[in-house]
Amino acid sequence: MKRLEREINSEVKARWPAGAVRRVAVLQHGDDPAIEPDGLLIRVFVEAGGGSEDERSLDEWAQANQAGMKRMRREVSLRLPEATLLEFAIDSPAATARITMPDDPALTDERLSTREIVETALVFLRASYVFPDLAEQAAVAVEARLAAGEYDGLDEEALAERLTSDLDEACDDKHLRVQTMPPRPARRKPGERSGPGPGPAHPPGGPGAGVRPRNYGIYRAERLEGNVGYLDVRGVPGPEEAGPVIAAAMELIAGTYALIIDLRRNGGGSPHAVVLWCSYFFPDGGTHLNDIFHADTGETRQFWSLAFVPGSRYLDRPVYVLTSSETFSGGEDFAYTLQAQGRAEVIGETTGGGAHPTRMIPISATMAIAVPFARSINPVTGTNWQGTGVIPDTAAPAAGAYDVAFRKALQHVLSITVPPPIADEARTALAGLASEGQP
């Protein structure tokens, strides 16, 4: 809650004229009788007179700031629908007057002008971007283009592409982007049911129940010839959902002699999931994996290997990580962390180069801006992969990285004592790679 409050305060300072607003408080159930369970109240303390004439002072402030109040109500409804109450009050112990703006879902459906879209995007950029000086430079450049009419006449898709290009030119950050979004489903009124009937479209256990089309990013987990493990991991969603599937995948390859982790199509995800994945390759909770510095608060959060993981750890055996130019964000974190700790050999292409945790902030019902608000700091290298990508230990075209890693894994299997049938498998598989042109 405190982090959310800091985020909103930062955005309010960027949005309102200097001196108009002092601070913002985010309150939850129990803080105020008007807040329902699971609800929030955002109270904006304004710069106005107080004392016996506080109501008149607040009314005068509101008359001068009507547009800003409506704009804030719309943005709160988009981002925090649970914040059903937005209040404006004078920041004085003696002041009792309040102006309350209840949630209005209709505001979220309003179409914004090009100017409003651009100006709103820049507010969020200035308030949250991990490098404030770069944010200001980028915002000034975009404002000049806006004033020159360079965004006039663009539809939302074209405007998003142009703004993303202009921001990237200034910041060289692939996480920083403006994008369109499909319209959100209409929000229900209190007591209104969803769907055509009194119950869900499919009862529990009915069609589609439990289906996971992307399987939390784990596309394949298998044993290859020579008792080599292989994991095709195309995303790193949060461990609160993906944890059991990650544990199951690691258990499937737990008895192999070497492991290939294919991150060539991994576009990223949760840093907490990266910690869970990486923890399987270290013996206990004593490995410092990563730090994330939050620019908005100045705080640095440390990430260490977990003292407990469900299932078996994968220790004292070689790990080969496959990368491509499409490997990005959390996928890069996974590869970079294992590489920096000397726990894996990275094979393939240099990755995309996105090391900044990012927050998606709605601009309107159909547009949003992704703003990097923090940066990773690896405790071994003292830096990260932003802009440079993860540099492979063994460079290879992405399409050929699997064969390179499989050959290394098979050679390892043949270098240790294994049952004769496994050695025969490894020799046959290695001969097959040689016949296909692999040395």
Tens of pLDDT, residue by residue over 366-379, are 999 999 999 999 99
Does 8 share its domain with 52? yes
> Cβ distance 56 to 95 under 8 Å?
no
On whether residue 196 sits in a domain, the answer given is no
* The pair of three-digit structure tokens given for residue 199, joined into one six-digit string: 């119950």
Going by pLDDT thresholds of 50, 70 and 90, the confidence category of residue 210 is low
pLDDT at residue 191 tops 70: no
On whether residue 189 sits in a domain, the answer given is no
- Residue 80 CA to residue 75 CA, distance in Å, equals 8
The domain tally of the chain equals: 3
pLDDT tens digits, one per residue of 43-85: 999 987 555 566 778 999 999 999 999 999 999 998 888 999 9
C-alpha dihedral over 141, 142, 147, 149, to 10 degrees?
120
Buried b (16+ CB within 10 A) or exposed e, 121-130: bbbbbbbbbb
Does 22 share its domain with 119? no
Does 133 share its domain with 6? no
Does 337 share its domain with 395? yes
Domain boundary among 130, 157, 179: 179
On whether residue 384 sits in a domain, the answer given is no
Whole-number pLDDT of residue 112: 92
Whole-number pLDDT of residue 197: 40
**DSSP characters over 406-417:** HHHHHHHHHHS-
Domain range for residue 272? 215-354+389-435
Going by pLDDT thresholds of 50, 70 and 90, the confidence category of residue 258 is very high
More confident residue, 202 or 263: 263
Does 44 share its domain with 84? yes
Alpha helix ranges (H) inside 227-305: 239-252, 271-279
pLDDT tens digits, one per residue of 276-296: 999 999 999 999 999 999 987
Q: Please state the rounded mean pLDDT for residues 102-126.
A: 91
On whether residue 264 sits in a domain, the answer given is yes
Share of the chain above pLDDT 90, in %: 73
* CATH code, domain with 55: 3.30.70
Q: In angstroms, what CA-CA distances link 365 with 187, 368, 396, 416, 432?
A: 12, 8, 43, 59, 55
Q: Which long-range contacts (CB under 8 A, 24 or more apart) does 190-197 make?
A: none
Domain boundary among 86, 109, 132: 109
Whole-number pLDDT of residue 53: 60
Share of the chain above pLDDT 70, in %: 92
Q: In what order do the strands lie in the sheet with 300-304?
A: 300-304, 288-294, 374-377
Does 331 share its domain with 412? yes
Going by pLDDT thresholds of 50, 70 and 90, the confidence category of residue 108 is confident
Residue 229's beta-bridge partner residues? 223, 259
Whole-number pLDDT of residue 397: 98
Does 6 share its domain with 141? no
- Residue 304 CA to residue 289 CA, distance in Å, equals 5
pLDDT at residue 96 tops 90: no
Whole-number pLDDT of residue 113: 95
Q: Please state the rounded mean pLDDT for residues 308-328.
A: 98
Does 49 share its domain with 122? no
On whether residue 370 sits in a domain, the answer given is no
- Residue 40 CA to residue 31 CA, distance in Å, equals 9
On whether residue 203 sits in a domain, the answer given is no
**DSSP characters over 298-338:** --EEEEE--S--SS----SS-EEEEE-TT--THHHHHHHHH
> Cβ distance 370 to 357 under 8 Å?
no
Q: For the chain, state the CA radius of gyration.
A: 26
- Residue 125 CA to residue 110 CA, distance in Å, equals 22
pLDDT at residue 199 tops 60: no
On whether residue 187 sits in a domain, the answer given is no
pLDDT at residue 195 tops 50: no
Does 79 share its domain with 153? no
- Residue 134 CA to residue 140 CA, distance in Å, equals 10
pLDDT tens digits, one per residue of 26-43: 999 999 998 999 999 999
On whether residue 192 sits in a domain, the answer given is no
Does 127 share its domain with 99? no
pLDDT at residue 303 tops 90: yes
Does 120 share its domain with 103? no
Distance of CA 352 to the CA centre of its chain: 16
* CATH code, domain with 317: 3.90.226.10
Does 105 share its domain with 158? no
pLDDT tens digits, one per residue of 389-410: 999 999 999 999 999 999 999 9
Whole-number pLDDT of residue 204: 46
Domain boundary among 75, 109, 143: 109
What amino acid is encoded at 224 in this protein? Answer: L
Whole-number pLDDT of residue 147: 98
